[in-house]
C-alpha cells in the first residue's frame, strides 16, 4: 500500500511523534568493528564518509559507499562488520527513537534502507551539529538536538518512497475512519460512546486504543481539531464568530470564545486580526 506524503491518517499521527537522540558521533571504525544478529530497541543512521564495510538488516545485505546514508530500524535483526583487507568506515552515526505512541515510526512505515545523498555538504553540516550538541549538557542543546534529528529524518524521507507496513495497514484504516468520523461530526456533540460505536469498539477499549495511537485522550484530540478548524475559518473566511462557533460544535458564541482563548491565549477576534 503506497501512500502519499499528504496522507491524512499518517500525517495526523505524526503530530504525536516523539524524538529522542540517544547518541551521536563521528568515528573511524577499527578493524575489530563487528556484531552479529542482534536486535536493538533504537534506530540507527550511518552516514558514510570514507572506507568500506558490510551491513545486514533482516535479510538485506548492504555494502555502502562514501556519500551514502543507511537506516537500520529498531526491532529488526542486524549485523555489521569490516571487510577484511579494506579500509574501515569513517562515518557519522547516531542512535535515536522516533515514537508514535507505543510504536516506532519505522514500525509504521517501510522505506529504502540505503540512499545516495544529493546534498552531502548539508547533511554533513547537520550531523556535525548533532554531534556537537550531544557533547553539551545544556537544556537548550537537548531541545536543539531533537530539531536537528527531525531535520535529518525528514531529509532522508523526502527522497524515498514510503509504504505502510502490511501489519499496520488495518490499524491505519481504523485510525483514518475515526478521524473522518470526528471531522464529519465536528458541528455536533461528539461523545466517546458514539465514536466508540462507530469504530465498533467498547468505550473503555476505544479510549485506550485512541490514546495509544494518537498520544492524547479522545476529547483532548477533539478539542485540538476544533481549534485547528476554527483557526482556518478565522484566517481564511469572512464568516462571523457565531457561524464559526456553529461549525466547530458550539451553540453559544461566548462559550466558544472562552474555549478558544483557553486553548490559544487569544480571543477569536484577536486571532483573526493577527492572521488576516
- Which pLDDT tens digit goes with each residue over 21-71? 999 999 999 999 999 998 888 999 999 999 999 999 999 999 999 999 999
The burial class, CB within 10 Å (0-12 / 13-18 / 19+), for 102 is: exposed
Give pLDDT tens digits for 233-248: 999 999 999 999 999 9
HSE toward the beta carbon, residue 50, CA cutoff 13 A: 7
Share of the chain above pLDDT 90, in %: 70
> How far, in Å, CA of 141 to CA of 129, rounded?
10
What does each C-alpha distance from 6 to 12, 63, 134, 181, 243 come to in angstroms? Answer: 10, 33, 32, 19, 29
Average pLDDT, the chain: 90
User: Is the CB of residue 64 less than 8 Å from the CB of residue 102?
Assistant: no
Cell of 66: 562514501
CA angle 106, 111, 117 (to 5 degrees): 115
**150, exposed or middle or buried, with CB in 10 Å at 0-12, 13-18, 19+?**
middle
Average pLDDT score over residue span 120-134: 97
pLDDT of residue 230: 94
CATH of domain 167-275: 1.10.10.60
φ and ψ at residue 80, rounded to 5 degrees: -155, 155
When the candidates are 3.30.420.40, 2.60.120.280, 2.40.100.20, 2.40.37.10, the CATH number that belongs to 8-164 is 2.60.120.280
At how many degrees (to 10) do helices 169-184 and 203-214 cross?
100
**Helix H or strand E encompassing 197:** helix 192-198
Domain boundaries, the chain: 8-164, 167-275
- Position 80 scores a pLDDT of 97
- pTM for the predicted model, two decimal places: 0.67
Amino acid at each position: 500500500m503506497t501512500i502519499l506524503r499528504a496522507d491524512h491518517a499518517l500525517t495526523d499521527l505524526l503530530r504525536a511523534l516523539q524524538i529522542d537522540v540517544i547518541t551521536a558521533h563521528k568515528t573511524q571504525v577499527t578493524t575489530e568493528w563487528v556484531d552479529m544478529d542482534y536486535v536493538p530497541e533504537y534506530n540507527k543512521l550511518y552516514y558514510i564518509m570514507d572506507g568500506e564495510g558490510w551491513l545486514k538488516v533482516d535479510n538485506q545485505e548492504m555494502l555502502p559507499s562514501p556519500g551514502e546514508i543507511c537506516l537500520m530500524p529498531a526491532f529488526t535483526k542486524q549485523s555489521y562488520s569490516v571487510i577484511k583487507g579494506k579500509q574501515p568506515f569513517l562515518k557519522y552515526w547516531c542512535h535515536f527513537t522516533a515514537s508514535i505512541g507505543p510504536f516506532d515510526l519505522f514500525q509504521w512505515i517501510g522505506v529504502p534502507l540505503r540512499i545516495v545523498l544529493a546534498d552531502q555538504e548539508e547533511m554533513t553540516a547537520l550531523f556535525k551539529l548533532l554531534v556537537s550538541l550531544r557533547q553539551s549538557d545544556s537544556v537548550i542543546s537537548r531541545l536543539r538536538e531533537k530539531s536537528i534529528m527531525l531535520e535529518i529524518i525528514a531529509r532522508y524521507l523526502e527522497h524515498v518512497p514510503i509504504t505502510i507496513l502490511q501489519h499496520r495497514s488495518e490499524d491505519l484504516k481504523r485510525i483514518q475512519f475515526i478521524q473522518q468520523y470526528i471531522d464529519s461530526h465536528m458541528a455536533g456533540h461528539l461523545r466517546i460512546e458514539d465514536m466508540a460505536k462507530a469504530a465498533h469498539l467498547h468505550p473503555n477499549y476505544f479510549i485506550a486504543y485512541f490514546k495509544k495511537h494518537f498520544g492524547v485522550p479522545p476529547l483532548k484530540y477533539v478539542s485540538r481539531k476544533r481549534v485547528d478548524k476554527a483557526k482556518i475559518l478565522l484566517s481564511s473566511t469572512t464568516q462571523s464568530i457565531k457561524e464559526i462557533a456553529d461549525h466547530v460544535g458550539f451553540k453559544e458564541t461566548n462559550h466558544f470564545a472562552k474555549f478558544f482563548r483557553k486553548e490559544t491565549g487569544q480571543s477569536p477576534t484577536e486571532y483573526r486580526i493577527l492572521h488576516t
